[in-house]
């Protein structure tokens, strides 16, 4: 999993690897995020999630080897 911008600052790392049961979707990852990194709890529900570079939802199933990215609303331009 990758974190960017303020999400990275609040977790204190840019990449972590988690092992999860088969057929796990994004939603429990988001909950575990707030547990393992309490500082990010305040924005955890507002983070966008992308899997392998495409926007995903909390219902999207995560597969072995997927790159899951959590990040706050974008502000390019």
Partner 1 sequence: MIQLTHDPIDTQALTESVRSPQAGAVVLFLGTVREFTAGRQTVALDYEAYSAMAVRKMEELVEQARTQWPIEKAAIVHRLGRMELGDVSVAVAVSTPHRHQAFDAGRFLIDQLKIVVPIWKKENWADGTTEWVHPGSPGIAIPGVLLSGEQP
Binding footprint of partner 1 on the chain (CB under 8 A): 2, 4-6, 9, 42-43, 46, 48, 50, 53-55, 69, 71-77
Question: Of 18 and 55, which CB lies nearer to partner 1 in the complex structure?
Answer: 55
Question: Of 21 and 46, which CB lies nearer to partner 1 in the complex structure?
Answer: 46
Least separation in angstroms between residue 21's CB and partner 1 is 26
Distance between CA atoms of 36 and 19, rounded to whole angstroms?
14
Q: How far is CA 49 from CA 3, 30, 57, in A?
A: 10, 9, 7
Distance between CA atoms of 23 and 44, rounded to whole angstroms?
22
């Amino acid at each position: 999993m990758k974190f960017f911008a303020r999400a990275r600052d609040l977790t204190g790392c840019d990449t972590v690897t988690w092992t999860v049961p088969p057929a796990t979707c994004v939603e429990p990852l988001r909950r575990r995020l707030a547990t393992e990194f309490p500082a990010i709890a305040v924005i955890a529900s507002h983070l966008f999630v992308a899997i392998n570079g495409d926007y995903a939802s909390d219902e999207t199933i995560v597969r072995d080897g997927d790159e899951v990215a959590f990040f706050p609303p974008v502000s390019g331009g």
